[in-house]
Structure 1
Amino acid sequence: MLNFDIFKQKSPKQRFLLILGLIMFVFYCCIGLACIFWKNLPLNIGQPYKIAIGVFLIIYAFVRLLSLGKRD
């Protein structure tokens, strides 16, 4: 059977939260990529730690995106 529940019209609150969630996904990905690839990032920590923080932020962004998709 086909599930047509996904095609229902969203309320303005749900639409706003979806857009906000997508914006936060892009924000966390950009910050993670900046931590990895920006050499002159003003953090006083070593490069391996910057890479670890960047990877963590990117993984966190995808976890948030997956949880955003599972919400009603």
Structure 2
Amino acid sequence: MLNFDIFKQKSPKQRFLLILGLLMFLLYLFMGLAFIFWTRLAIPIDRPYKIAIGVFLIVYAFVRLLSLAKQN
């Protein structure tokens, strides 16, 4: 069954931290995808290293999302 505890009434501080955490998840996810798929990146890095950095950022984004879900 789905858990809708995230929609419970929260204090303004908790709501702000939740939104900030979600924004940071999206930022890291976008950065990881940009490293992998953006060919004209301003940083001159070889393709295998760009993929490795992108995968690391995507995994880190999901780790942050899981820790955010555990807190709430």
Common topology (TM > 0.5): yes
TM-score by length of 1: 0.87
TM-score by length of 2: 0.87
Larger radius of gyration: 1
Taking only the aligned residue pairs, the percentage that are identical comes to 74
Unmatched segments (≥5 aa) in structure 2 = none
Summarize the alignment of residues 9-48 of structure 1 with structure 2, pairs less than 5 Å apart.
9-48=9-48
AA matched with 1:30? F
When residues 58 and 13 of structure 1 are mapped into structure 2, their CA distance, relative to the original with a 3 A threshold, is same
Matched residue SS, 2:43: coil
Deviations 1:23-70 (A, max 9, x none): 000000000000000011111220000000000000000000000011
CA shift, 1:8, in A, is 3.9
Unmatched segments (≥5 aa) in structure 1 = none
